[in-house]
Amino acid sequence: MKTTLISTALFSLFSFSIFLFGQSAYEYPIKPGTEEWKQLKNHKEKVEVCQIPENTIHSLTTEELLDVCLNYPLIGDIMAFNNVQEGFDAFKNNFNGVNELLQRNEFPSILLERYSKIEPSNYEMEWSNNKKVEYAYKIMVLEFFIAQDEVLYKLDINKKKDIVRLLLSKKEEKKKDEICDYHSIMSIYYPISRILFTEEIDKTIINDELAAEIMKFSKSGNMNNMHLVPWHLILLNR
């Protein structure tokens, strides 16, 4: 029977961090689980100690900075808001690494190269549920990055079509994996919906009501029954 580990164990990401996407070139000075972290009085103090020093952030390559962002100790906060985009905006506003990353011109190509190489099922079976969940969640964060305007506005229509094909192929991989549930599939549809509204939806394929729902989803990342939308037809067959 298919489990829903992400939806049932996502809370664990708010309190620990395992570095699954490679060793960071920059190590956070205070990490969850340490005595120093426990001494921090509130969320604001935790955010403050996670900022990358200015003399360090500009020395990191874009690949290194992406790893640092994926290993951000408070990255689970994205899912603590009313919707995905609100959570990602907080991630961007609270952490200087994200702002720096999104400003770099080469970031879209590096992001897509990284995402294309990730396999949803590429984890060890003996890993704990929490460790598997964090692996799946960081793949979702890559998808949230793809959905950002700062990334999509730097791409032409042909590249966006390639991205849709890539996302749809990852969706099929996720559907076969036991740790992926609604949240994992939603994170695939989110960047696709954003792409649709940077290029305009073909109204001959979907009706106005559905177009309005997709538009709503593209702004927030929250929508039910996303599997009913003919994503592959809307953009790829234009």
pLDDT in tens, 15-31: 444 444 556 678 999 98
Name the nearest CA neighbour of 101 among 144, 164, 135: 144
Instruction: Indicate the pLDDT class of residue 133, thresholds 50, 70 and 90.
Output: confident
172 touches 188 (CB < 8 A): no
Q: Which residues have a Cβ under 8 Å from the Cβ of 19 and sit 6 or more positions away?
A: 71
Residue 143 pLDDT level (bands cut at 50, 70, 90):
very high
Cα 54–58–63 angle (5° rounding)? 130
- Name the least confident of 88-92, 139-143, 222-226: 222-226
- Averaged pLDDT, 110-126: 85
Reported confidence tier of residue 201, pLDDT bands at 50, 70, 90: low
Residue 124 has pLDDT above 90, yes or no: no
The percent of residues above 70 in pLDDT, for the chain, comes to 79
Query: In 3D, which of 160, 219, 158, 222 has the Cα closest to residue 187?
Result: 222
Alpha helices, H only, the chain:
5-9, 35-39, 43-49, 54-57, 62-70, 84-94, 96-103, 107-117, 129-146, 149-152, 157-175, 182-199, 208-220, 231-236
CB-CB contact of 30 with 37 (8 Å): yes
CA pair distance 139, 155, nearest whole angstrom:
21
Q: 219 or 50: which carries more pLDDT confidence?
A: 50
| Contact of 92 with 98, CB cutoff 8 Å | yes
Instruction: Please report, for the chain, the start and end positions of each structural domain, with discontinuous segments joined by +.
Output: 5-236
User: Cα separation of 221 and 214, whole Å?
Assistant: 9
pTM of the model: 0.85
The mean of the pLDDT values for the chain is 81
